[in-house]
């Protein structure tokens, strides 16, 4: 399998070197006509540390759902770094300890939503490829669900495809418009998000789509002009359809027939220890390298920190990436993370199948709460398995809703 040179570090905020590296080595894995980085986000621990150092959530409770103009927004936009383990949820929890109480509590509540999504995905795994509670209706409507003639859709989709990030409010708008208004398959919309979002984990993205559309919740979220006028009034004022708005009124609640048979794992986990992974490092031998995954690329990765003198290996999963066809900005962000890490550690970057590339090597790694890690790690010689840094360790109780899950944290 190809051994690649480590990506170059991004300096002075210029991603052109990383773009060139991706074009040369990974260009066949994206459908973009040219490799272009997100103009808003730079990857790597240095960029993540800078974002954390300047994090200010004063006003978050009141402004977190604001959409337009961007300067009104209160969202922290740190999620791309959380997704790749450059900032861990416990670290972020502690970082806002000194914020105004109302803002701190609301922000921490949102961190718990992120943790809930991780628990949901860690327990249910590939089951989440289909609806886990209800079946949203599908229709025969044609055309783009995100009609660019609607200013709210045009601006939001442009931001998604350009920057690779959206505030939570517009994620719900797009998902509801896709499914509740247009009747398109939620799985197609989730895949479209996943191709572009720099914070696109299956946990957060898939649970968000299932919750918004009713596939994983007891009611679908209804999108209408009311939300746009409240959170982005300038978009309605400048829309060509301002006097003929296709989302003028509230949509009817769609019928949501229950999944049959029910997904029993939503209500109880028979083996929460397997879902959560080890509570302490499980060491059975002497590792010769640290294997990093895309979930855990930060300097504080437990395996990386525990073995500071070992070389580090990262395998770009070519079969998986070929299926996903990620937007090039996601590949550039990942390359920037690797290029930054290579400035501090001896980094071996490979392109191929991780099981083939890592066969026969004694590895240290950090448990990752995703099904792909379980499959691959079982096929490899992992002699030092380090615990995942949970904000709250998974429990055996209900995941049917955020509130039910949160009650389980106190039991």
Domain with residue 232: its CATH number is: 1.10.579.10
Q: What is the DSSP letter of 8?
A: P
- Between CA 268 and CA 404 the distance in angstroms is 11
Q: What is the DSSP letter of 178?
A: I
Range of the domain at 170: 131-258
The pLDDT assigned to 159 comes to: 97
The tally of domains found in the chain comes to 1
Reported as a pLDDT band with limits 50, 70 and 90, residue 185 is: very high
- Dihedral of CA 294/371/379/309: which sign? positive
Judge whether residue 337 has pLDDT over 90: yes
The two three-digit tokens of residue 125, written as one number: 């795994």
- Between CA 299 and CA 279 the distance in angstroms is 20
The pLDDT assigned to 1 comes to: 59
- Report if residue 85 sits inside a domain: no
- Report if residue 196 sits inside a domain: yes
- Between CA 304 and CA 369 the distance in angstroms is 17
Name residue, tokens 């954390």. 52
Judge whether residue 109 has pLDDT over 70: yes
Angle at 151 between CA 252 and CA 160, to 5 degrees: 95
Reported as a pLDDT band with limits 50, 70 and 90, residue 215 is: very high
175: Cβ contacts below 8 Å, ≥ 6 apart: 186, 189, 193, 208, 209, 212, 213, 221
Judge whether residue 411 has pLDDT over 70: no
25: Cβ contacts below 8 Å, ≥ 6 apart: 2, 4, 351
Average pLDDT value for residue range 25-49:
97
Question: Partners of 352 in the beta sheet?
Answer: 317
Other Cβ atoms within 10 Å of 113 Cβ, number: 18
Q: Kindly tell me the burial class for residue 404, based on how many C-beta atoms sit within 10 Å of its own C-beta (0-12, 13-18, 19 or more).
A: middle
- Report if residue 392 sits inside a domain: no
Tens of pLDDT, residue by residue over 390-399, are 999 999 999 9
- Report if residue 161 sits inside a domain: yes
- Report if residue 183 sits inside a domain: yes
Average pLDDT value for residue range 225-251:
93
The pLDDT assigned to 138 comes to: 77
- Report if residue 384 sits inside a domain: no
If residue 303 lies in a helix (H) or strand (E), which one and from where to where? helix 302-306
**Cα dihedral angle (122, 127, 128, 129), rounded to 10 degrees?**
130
Nearest to 266 by CA among 405, 388, 368, 372: 405
Q: Are 300 and 392 in contact (CB under 8 A)?
A: no
Nearest to 88 by CA among 397, 369, 344, 385: 369
The pLDDT assigned to 254 comes to: 84
Q: Kindly tell me the burial class for residue 316, based on how many C-beta atoms sit within 10 Å of its own C-beta (0-12, 13-18, 19 or more).
A: buried
Average pLDDT value for residue range 323-343:
98
- Report if residue 141 sits inside a domain: yes
If residue 291 lies in a helix (H) or strand (E), which one and from where to where? strand 289-291
Burial pattern 331-363, b for ≥16 Cβ within 10 A else e, equals bbbbbbbbbbbbeebebbbbbbbbeebbeeebb
Tens of pLDDT, residue by residue over 124-134, are 999 999 999 99
Question: Partners of 381 in the beta sheet?
Answer: 362
Tens of pLDDT, residue by residue over 58-93, are 999 999 999 999 889 989 999 999 999 999 999 999
The pLDDT assigned to 137 comes to: 80
The pLDDT assigned to 252 comes to: 85
Average pLDDT value for residue range 137-158:
87
Q: pTM of the full predicted structure?
A: 0.95
Helices H / strands E in the chain, number of each:
19, 7
- Between CA 286 and CA 309 the distance in angstroms is 13
The pLDDT assigned to 410 comes to: 75
The pLDDT assigned to 288 comes to: 98
Mean pLDDT is highest, among 2-11, 21-30, 175-184, for: 21-30
* 162-166, 248-252, 315-319: range with lowest mean pLDDT: 248-252
The pLDDT assigned to 216 comes to: 94
């Amino acid at each position: 399998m190809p051994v690649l040179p480590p990506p170059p570090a991004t300096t002075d905020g210029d991603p052109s070197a990383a773009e060139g590296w991706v074009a040369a080595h990974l260009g066949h894995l994206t459908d973009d006509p040219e490799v272009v980085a997100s103009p808003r986000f730079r990857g790597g621990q240095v960029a993540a540390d800078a974002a954390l150092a300047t994090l200010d959530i004063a006003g978050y409770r009141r402004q977190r759902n604001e959409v337009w103009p961007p300067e009104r927004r209160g969202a922290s936009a740190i999620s791309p770094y959380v997704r790749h383990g450059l900032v861990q949820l416990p670290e972020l929890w502690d970082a806002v300890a000194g914020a105004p109480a109302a803002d701190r509590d609301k922000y921490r509540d949102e961190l718990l939503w992120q943790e809930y999504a991780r628990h949901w995905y860690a327990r249910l795994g590939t089951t989440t490829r289909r609806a886990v509670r209800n079946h949203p209706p599908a229709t025969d409507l044609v055309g783009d669900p995100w009609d660019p003639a609607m200013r709210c859709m045009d601006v939001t989709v442009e931001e998604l495809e350009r920057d690779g990030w959206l505030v939570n409010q517009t994620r719900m708008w797009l998902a509801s418009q896709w499914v509740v208004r247009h009747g398109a398959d939620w799985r197609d919309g989730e895949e479209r998000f996943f191709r572009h979002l720099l914070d696109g984990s299956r946990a957060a993205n898939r649970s968000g789509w299932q919750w918004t559309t009713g596939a994983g919740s007891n009611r679908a979220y209804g999108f209408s002009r009311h939300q746009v006028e409240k959170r982005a009034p300038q978009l309605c004022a400048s829309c060509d359809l301002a006097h003929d708005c296709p989302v003028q009124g509230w949509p009817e609640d769609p019928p949501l027939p229950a999944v049959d048979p029910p997904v029993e794992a939503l209500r109880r986990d028979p083996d929460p220890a397997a879902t959560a992974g080890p509570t302490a490092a499980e060491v059975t031998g002497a590792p010769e390298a640290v294997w990093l995954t895309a979930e855990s690329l930060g300097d504080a990765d437990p395996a990386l920190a525990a073995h500071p003198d070992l070389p580090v290996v990262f395998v770009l999963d070519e079969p998986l990436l070929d299926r996903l066809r990620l937007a090039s900005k996601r590949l550039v962000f990942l390359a920037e993370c690797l290029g930054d890490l290579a400035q501090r550690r001896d980094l071996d970057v490979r392109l191929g199948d991780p099981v083939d590339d890592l066969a026969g090597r004694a590895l240290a790694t950090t448990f990752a709460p995703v099904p792909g890690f379980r499959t691959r790690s079982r096929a490899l010689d992992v002699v030092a398995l380090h615990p995942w840094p949970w904000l709250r360790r998974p429990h055996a109780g209900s995941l049917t809703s955020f509130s039910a899950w949160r009650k389980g944290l106190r039991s």
